[in-house]
């Protein structure tokens, strides 16, 4: 049941939280294993957190108003997952507080990097602390699932082997890597790709140790384990994605993340990744980023 709006046994934290990273994610592989009776797809994937993402700033209000203070092109305030996350937490906990939210967008939309989902999770974690409602991580994950299938992972806050629609999570230890992420200038709508008749929906169900056994011994890890079942469909529909994959694969095994459009390749050093980035066509958007072991706001829930 909802908690009280403040915990009288603990003093309120500082009235603002600035510079909160909402980290991007990669799907190191993504297998679709079936379709559930409710129409959602069952999948298996490994989520990798990145030290790159949007940056959010939160200022607590005493009047209960939740306001997005920066414009996000193409996303009305009422539809923004950040605003919806804040309102959901406020309603669930009966908090009397509100918040002003500023968003620095760095992640491209429709890229398979989890930008909106990560923003929502960072909002839940930040307001859990800022409003002093102190929900458990499990409770926040249950709320997060109401916002989208990827949001619980970001609240979970650790690299994870995921099943179900992405909400059944087991933490995994992944080696430190640097990634070159290249994003073509196309927006790939996730729902449209999931509805494609040609999409593979019957991949063999794996166990987590299948992944762990290979990545611990494979010199090319994580590039050679499994595949992204959505990639073939996206490549057929979006020539730009196919072009990036073809180009990157000449340097290093590459794969699409999520439903696209971003494509990534893994490297063992930042210098190697930057050398590859320097060879990219000048008009391609790209980033070199390091892997993360946990969400920067992981300590804001327990």
Q: Which residue has the tokens 């490994």?
A: 46
Within 10 angstroms of residue 119's Cβ, the number of other Cβ atoms is 26
pTM of the model: 0.91
Contacts 24+ apart (CB under 8 A), 235-241: 236/198, 237/193, 237/196, 238/184, 238/186, 238/188, 240/184, 240/185, 240/186, 241/184, 241/186, 241/188
Q: Write down how long the chain is.
A: 302
pLDDT at 37: 73
Question: Distance between CA 119 and CA 59 in Å, rounded?
Answer: 16
Delimit the domains of the chain by residue range: 1-302
- For 121, counting Cβ atoms within 10 Å of its Cβ (0-12 exposed, 13-18 middle, 19+ buried), the class is buried
**Which residue among 54, 80, 119, 150 is the active-site one?**
150
pLDDT at 224: 66
Tokens of 208: 């987590």
Q: Which residues pair with 269 in a beta bridge?
A: none
Q: Strands 160-163 and 98-104: what pairing?
A: unpaired
Query: Which residue, 230, 289, 211, 220, is CA-closest to 252?
Result: 220
Q: Which CATH class is domain 1-302?
A: alpha beta
pLDDT at 142: 97
197 is annotated as an active-site residue: no
| C-alpha 107: how far from chain center | 10
* Phi (first) and psi of residue 249, to 5 degrees: -65, -15
Q: Name the DSSP class of 280.
A: S
Q: What is the mean pLDDT of each run of 10 residues along the chain (302 residues)?
A: 49 89 96 80 93 98 97 93 98 98 94 96 98 97 95 97 89 93 91 81 80 60 76 95 96 92 94 96 94 97 95
Which residues contact residue 265 at a Cβ distance below 8 angstroms, ignoring those fewer than 6 apart?
179, 180, 223, 248, 251, 252, 253, 254, 255, 273, 276
pLDDT at 62: 96
25 is annotated as an active-site residue: yes
**Which residue among 25, 54, 105, 119 is the active-site one?**
25
H-run or E-run covering 286: strand 285-292
């Amino acid at each position: 049941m909802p908690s009280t709006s403040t915990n009288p046994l603990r003093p309120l934290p500082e009235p603002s939280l600035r510079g909160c990273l909402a980290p991007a994610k990669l799907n190191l592989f993504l297998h679709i294993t079936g379709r559930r009776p409710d129409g959602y797809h069952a999948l298996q994937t490994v989520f990798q957190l990145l030290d790159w993402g949007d940056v959010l700033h939160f200022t607590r209000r005493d009047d209960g108003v939740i306001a997005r203070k920066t414009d996000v092109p193409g996303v009305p305030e009422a539809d923004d997952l950040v605003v919806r996350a804040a309102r959901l937490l406020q309603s669930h906990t009966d908090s009397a507080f509100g918040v002003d939210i500023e968003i620095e967008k760095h992640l491209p939309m429709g890229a398979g990097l989890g930008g909106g989902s990560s923003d929502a999770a960072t909002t839940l974690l930040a307001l859990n602390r800022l409003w002093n409602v102190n929900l458990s991580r499990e409770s926040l994950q249950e709320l997060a699932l109401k916002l989208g299938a990827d949001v619980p992972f970001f609240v979970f806050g650790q690299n994870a082997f995921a099943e179900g629609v992405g909400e059944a999570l087991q933490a995994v230890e992944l080696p430190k890597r640097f990634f070159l992420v290249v994003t073509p200038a196309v927006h790939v709508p996730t729902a449209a790709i999931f509805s494609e008749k040609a999409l593979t929906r019957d991949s063999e169900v794996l166990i987590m140790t299948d992944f762990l056994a290979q990545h611990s011994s494979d010199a090319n890890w994580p590039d050679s384990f499994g595949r992204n079942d959505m990639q073939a469909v996206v490549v057929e529909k979006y020539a730009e994605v196919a072009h990036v994959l073809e180009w990157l694969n000449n340097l290093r095994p590459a794969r699409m993340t999520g439903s696209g459009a971003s494509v990534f390749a893994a490297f063992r050093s930042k210098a190697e990744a930057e050398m590859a980035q320097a060879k990219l066509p000048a008009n391609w958007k790209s980033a070199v980023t390091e892997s993360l072991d946990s969400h920067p706001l992981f300590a804001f829930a327990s």
